[in-house]
Amino acid sequence: MVTIEHVKHLAWLSRLDLTNDEIGKYHTEIEKIIEYLDRLDSISLSEVEPRYYEKSVSEFRNDIIYDTQTELSKTTKNLKDGYVKGPRMR
């Protein structure tokens, strides 16, 4: 059971400043999600055969090499010594 206090705590951990209406909305949505997960937990998979895939990771996609330095220099203003310069952290 998720309480309003749990939602407030999650918002605090996420650094979200939520209104009381938003807290109520998220409380309802989280309750629905947990109910759905409980329904999934109740499904018996004992008669389902597991599936095995015998492919190597390289078979799932092709590796495409991009020249990121050229792309970065075209799209970024804050490029310094090959790196993107971000804002200063306080």
Locate all alpha helices (DSSP H) within 2-86, ordered by sequence.
4-13, 20-41, 68-75
Residues 6+ apart with CB under 8 A from 82: 69
pLDDT at 25: 96
Structure tokens at 57: 């990771």
Per-residue pLDDT of the chain (90 residues; tens, 9 = 90+): 899 999 999 999 999 999 999 999 999 999 999 999 999 999 998 898 988 877 777 677 777 777 767 777 777 778 777 778 888 887
pLDDT at 7: 95
Which is it for strands 79-80 and 83-84: parallel, antiparallel or unpaired?
antiparallel
pLDDT at 65: 78
Structure tokens at 11: 């918002």
Q: Is this model's pTM higher than 0.85 or not? A: no
